[in-house]
Amino acid sequence: MSADLKIRMKANKRRMLPNPKEGVINFNRKQMPEVISEHNDPERVEWTELDSPPPEYIIGQPALRVPDASKPRYKLFWPIQNGWCNERDYTSKRMLFLDISLILEEAIKTQLGLHSKKDWPQYSCVFVIPDLYEKSYVTQVLEMLMREFSFARVCFIQESLAATFGAGFTSACVVDIGAQKTSICCVEEGMCIENSRVNLKMGGNDVTETFTKMMLHDHFPYADINLWRRYDYLLAEELKKNICTMDEAKVSPQAFDLHLRVSGQDTEKHNFKVFDEGHLAPMGFFEPTIFDNSQKLDGRRKLIERSVDIYDGQPNDPTSAAQSEIMTALAPPLPSNGKANGEPDVHATPARPQQPNPLGRIQEQDATPRSSVAGSPAPETVGTPQAGGSGTPAVNAATSQPARPAVEYRDDILPVFPLDNAILTSIAHAARSDEKKMRDFIGGIMVVGGGSLTNELHAFLEARLKALRPGFLKEIMIGVPPRDLDAQVVVWKGASIFGKLNTTNDSWIGQLEYDRLGHRLMAYKCMWAY
């Protein structure tokens, strides 16, 4: 990637110093920290003070400011990671959802000022869920909101639809780059197009980790940085925001400084230089192989089983043709444990023939069929969907395979894919060979989320898309939320607007209805096919 960057800079007539990397390393090796006493530090950190007796738990930003040497010591938990429930760090499903409940409860009390739970039955709640959600998570959240929080009524909205409400768009291709996951979905006239939904397990935290590793490779003067420590994690986030850029014109040896603030110690000021690290780290959105993805599947399905249909026992979580296309391109061979007939055959996993590039055949089809789970054979795992969309199980022993999971339901595939290709895959499945829709979506790409705040990311993404689709040079446009809205809160802004609309009347789930029908109400109350 570094060599490719130099080639592009030379092609664009950008001036480069000879041996810039060596100059950066030599400068960083010579640096010694400057000690600043606490009373001379104008930006000293206010650490979280522990009362007596100390609280049982601490929620939100104050949890990141608890001193590492606190008495008693506190362990940091993240119940949601990579857009999934964090099954790796918990021993029971009950404890996981108890932490989610505590976070929501404290947020409502501190951020909204509703300190007494006795008042909560007077309020309604709009809850934002992912475009590609898991039904087991949604039903658990619904029970939490109705039973534990006792809201008068509850409704759900998908995150991409909420983003269009928040930004005031009627149709758009919404790209939400978060800290640990990126979601893409095309929205048309107030509805998420099902086959365009994409969920990638990468985000701003991957950029932070990769950027830190690159700086350490260049003899970063604060060599003891450890992202598992709370103050080091916050420091790395600050450095990423200040240094990382997608503007190639700013790639040159530059001097920066950092202030290391540790509870109970004097502040240390470190001077250092960076060269191309600030550009290469966010390039991981387009070359995700540089991210460390080794632990993202750890603990998957350890606590929470996949939701299945109560009648035929088949998985019934929502799927997407665009997501399946990406998963097919990434699918490793099935393990030879009897689930794939003893043969690690990648081509036998999905119903469609596998292609190295998922974009190659999308526009050749008039319609991309969704995988059908209702008509699959019904052993313990889902059968392979039949090519051509037939709902009849294959009877011939020569063609049927015992219990091969469809690519959408394989838990050994981590959906990490170049962002530009993923956007085009989503749009191609949304347009379904309709050139007018293709031009509308490709000219209405809206990027939101905290990860989208990377300097010059919009211009760089637009250039990448134009290089991949030269036939749409005039149409391709990357938009930002209007009215100077913070890209990080557009989705929540849209959810609040959605709750005020008269059209949401049919989406509300009341206490009496829930008492009678439970989570089965979701099939009738949601504005999409639940």
pLDDT in tens, 414-440: 999 999 999 999 999 999 988 999 999
**383: pLDDT confidence band, cut at 50, 70 and 90?**
very low
Residue 128 located in a structural domain: no
Return the exposure string of 53-71: e unless at least 16 CB atoms fall within 10 Å of the residue's CB, then b: eeeeebbeeeeebbbeeee
pLDDT in tens, 46-105: 899 898 899 999 999 999 999 988 889 999 999 999 999 999 999 999 999 999 999 999
Residue 234 located in a structural domain: yes
Q: What pLDDT is stored for residue 190 in this prediction?
A: 86
Residue 262 located in a structural domain: yes
pLDDT in tens, 475-518: 999 988 776 788 999 999 999 999 998 766 788 999 999 999 99
Rounded CA-CA distance 334/336 in Å is: 6
CA distances (Å), origin 233, targets 240, 295, 299, 449: 11, 18, 23, 19
The residue assigned the tokens 């790639």 is 251
Are residues 131 and 181 in contact, defined by beta-carbon separation less than 8 angstroms? no
Q: Which of 126, 140, 155 is nearest to 96 (CA)?
A: 140
pLDDT in tens, 144-162: 999 999 999 999 999 999 9
Residue 261 located in a structural domain: yes
Q: What pLDDT is stored for residue 335 in this prediction?
A: 62
Rounded CA-CA distance 343/411 in Å is: 18
Which CATH number do you get for residue 272? 3.90.640.10
Question: Could you list the residue range(s) of the whole structural domain that residue 251 is in?
Answer: 2-46+204-290
What is the length of the chain?
530
Residue 215 located in a structural domain: yes
Residue 513 located in a structural domain: no
Residue 231 located in a structural domain: yes
Q: How many distinct structural domains can be found in the chain? A: 1
The residue assigned the tokens 């989208």 is 452
Residue 302 located in a structural domain: no
pLDDT in tens, 387-418: 444 444 444 444 444 455 688 788 889 999 99
Q: What pLDDT is stored for residue 336 in this prediction?
A: 57
Q: What pLDDT is stored for residue 43 in this prediction?
A: 82
Residue 289 has pLDDT above 50, yes or no: yes
